[in-house]
């Protein structure tokens, strides 16, 4: 049985006195690929910020398998959180992912940065400011930063909100490669992409409903998303389309 990297027990989280998440229970396993779906405002980003320690919960607990996991979680934020006018180069962004690696020498840090930039195929923009990048180049830069310290857990918040369509298939191939050694949590409203990529599903809409595997149907989505769905099959990729609200 896979070890549990993160265990969340009876978590209540919110802002001021209003709870956004209630009675959240979840286990994230070693080398899992967990898709977190749910409506806008349902609490998906609040949940991952709580796991990252950016928000203090009202009550409940989050347990990590060890302190190393807690201190080295890889994280890709939503694009609107990135100030593209900030004067920083691609190489500097990638190297900032090593900020907690105090024992590395300067030459070791530079070598890791070069290798990660090569892996993401962004050598040609390594010296450019992030404001000069395309969407796909920025995405690869942020992914490089998130995984350069070899985390056991990688969290991505709505990465397809700024995906370069020319790079999209390669991006998800990279995630599957990373998942061979790293647990991945992918937060997205794009259900079709999530279901074609992940191993397990959690729907967050104030509460959390976990589903092992990805063989979910419209009834499960309607029940936990609180919104009607049609399920349409198109080749091997399932798509979900909203019905008209009454």
Q: HSE, CB side, 13 Å, CA atoms: give it for residue 185.
A: 29
- Total domain count for the chain? 2
Q: Are residues 166 and 143 in the same domain?
A: no
Q: Are residues 166 and 114 in the same domain?
A: no
* Mean residue pLDDT across the chain: 85
Q: Are residues 157 and 67 in the same domain?
A: yes
Q: Are residues 234 and 166 in the same domain?
A: yes
CA-based end-to-end distance of the chain: 45
Does the residue 117 lie in any domain? yes
Does the residue 163 lie in any domain? yes
Q: What is the tens place of the pLDDT at every residue in 60-114?
A: 999 999 887 888 899 998 767 788 889 999 999 999 999 888 888 999 999 999 9
Identify the domain containing residue 241 by its residue range: 1-73+151-170+182-246
pLDDT band at 165 (very low <50, low <70, confident <90, very high): low
Total-model pTM: 0.85
Q: Are residues 160 and 243 in the same domain?
A: yes
Checking if the pLDDT of 244 tops 90, the result is no
Q: Are residues 155 and 69 in the same domain?
A: yes
CB count in 10 Å sphere of residue 18: 7
- DSSP result, 58-102: SEEEEEESSHHHHHT-EEE--GGG--TTS--BHHHHHHGGGTT-T
Q: Are residues 161 and 242 in the same domain?
A: yes
Q: Are residues 208 and 227 in the same domain?
A: yes
Q: What is the mean pLDDT of residues 36-48?
A: 90
Checking if the pLDDT of 59 tops 50, the result is yes
The answer to which of 11-20, 69-78, 123-132 has the lowest mean pLDDT is 69-78
Q: What is the tens place of the pLDDT at every residue in 171-192?
A: 888 899 999 999 999 998 778 7
Chain-centre distance of CA 88, in angstroms?
Answer: 23
Sheet of 33-37, strands arranged across? 74-76, 153-157, 183-187, 33-37, 200-205, 207-211
Checking if the pLDDT of 14 tops 60, the result is yes
Does the residue 177 lie in any domain? no
Q: Are residues 133 and 244 in the same domain?
A: no
- Residue 196 tokens, joined: 């074609």
* DSSP helix/strand/coil, 160: helix
Does the residue 189 lie in any domain? yes
**The predicted structure's pLDDT at residue 164:** 64
CATH number at residue 31: 3.40.50.300
**The predicted structure's pLDDT at residue 214:** 78
């Amino acid at each position: 049985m896979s070890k549990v990297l993160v265990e969340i027990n009876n978590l209540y989280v919110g802002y001021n006195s209003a709870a956004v998440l209630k009675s959240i229970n979840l286990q994230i396993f070693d080398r899992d690929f967990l898709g977190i779906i749910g409506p806008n405002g349902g609490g998906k980003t609040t949940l991952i910020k709580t796991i990252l320690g950016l928000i203090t919960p009202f009550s409940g607990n989050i347990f990590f398998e060890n302190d190393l996991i807690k201190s080295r979680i890889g994280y890709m934020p939503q694009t609107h959180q990135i100030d593209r006018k900030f004067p920083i180069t691609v190489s500097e962004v990638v190297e900032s992912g090593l900020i907690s690696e105090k024992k590395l020498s300067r030459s070791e840090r530079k070598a890791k940065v070069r290798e990660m930039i090569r892996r993401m195929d962004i050598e040609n923009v390594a010296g450019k400011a992030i404001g000069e990048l395309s969407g796909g180049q920025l995405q690869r830069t942020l992914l490089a930063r998130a995984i350069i310290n070899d985390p056991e857990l990688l969290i991505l918040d709505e990465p397809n909100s700024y995906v370069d369509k020319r790079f999209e298939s390669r991006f998800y191939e990279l995630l599957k490669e990373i998942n061979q050694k790293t647990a991945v949590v992918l937060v997205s409203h794009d259900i079709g992409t999530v279901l074609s990529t992940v191993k397990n599903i959690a729907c967050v809409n104030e509460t959390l409903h976990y589903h092992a595997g990805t063989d979910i149907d419209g009834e499960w989505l309607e029940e936990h998303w609180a919104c009607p769905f049609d399920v349409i099959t198109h080749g091997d990729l399932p798509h979900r389309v909203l019905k008209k609200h009454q």
